[in-house]
Amino acid sequence: MDSNKKLGLIGKNISYSFSKKFFEDKFQKLMLKDFTYDIFDLNEINEVENLLADPQLLGFNVTIPYKEKIIDYLDNLSDEAEKIGAVNCVLIRDGKKTGYNTDAFGFEKTLLLHKKNHQDKALILGNGGAAKAVKYVMDKHGIPSITISRNSEINFENIDAETVRDHKIIIQCTPVGTFPNVEDCLKFPFEGITPEHLIIDLIYNPNYTQFIIKASEKGAKTVNGYYMLEQQAEKAWEIWNFQKK
């Protein structure tokens, strides 16, 4: 009998992936020969049904654009995943599929590492799964935040420099500027950014998005998504391996 334990990542157009290399390196380091980590590129979320039918699948990560859509295919949600309304990690045990949100864990670690006391109000750019995890962390720490999206009251068309100046934490949660479209940048009043600001862009590829470059030109402290990604992956590994049966 083949005892192969399968893990992987579901998403759309995910030719590049931090997760595959991260976990393959981990398997090698821990000398785990029976683990594999694959990329499952799905055109539509319902294609996940074929994947879920595989008895060797132990779990998987979820990325754009399926962090919310995957919920319909799961049996249970962790408290965080339920409150956030988005899942980026799924554990399959005894046929039961449980959704977790390790983005919140990764983002919280990033935020607490860099946040200064005067940075007490946040702007969250975007309203997808990652933005929801960010909002959850802000609420947990009592940091007032405004979510800016295409259709929100304050949106990318009408946000002004004064609002930006007034919110010293800005988290860029949209995929705009991700490889290969590295020249793209959100429309944003960068003139409102000051050296008092903390700017976190959740994108990790490229290291420096146009958004980060423009913010750092204003003297802001800038951080990309790499540490968050690493932390959420470590947390996923913990969930897949150490959940009590």
Active site residues: 67
**How buried is residue 55: exposed, middle or buried, by Cβ count under 10 Å (0-12/13-18/19+)?**
exposed
CA distances from 40 to 62, 71, 166 (A): 10, 17, 42
d(CA 101, CA 198): 24
Query: Could you write out the three-class secondary structure of the chain?
Result: CCCCEEEEEEECCCCCCHHHHHHHHHHHHCCCCCEEEEEEECCCHHHHHHHHCCCCECEEEECCCCCCHHHHHCCEECHHHHHHCCCCEEEEECCEEEEECCHHHHHHHHHHHHCCCCCCCEEEECCCHHHHHHHHHHHHCCCCEEEEECCCCCECCCCCHHHHHHCCEEEECCCCCCCCCCCCCCCCCHHHCCCCCEEEECCCCCCCCHHHHHHHCCCCEEECCHHHHHHHHHHHHHHHHHCCC
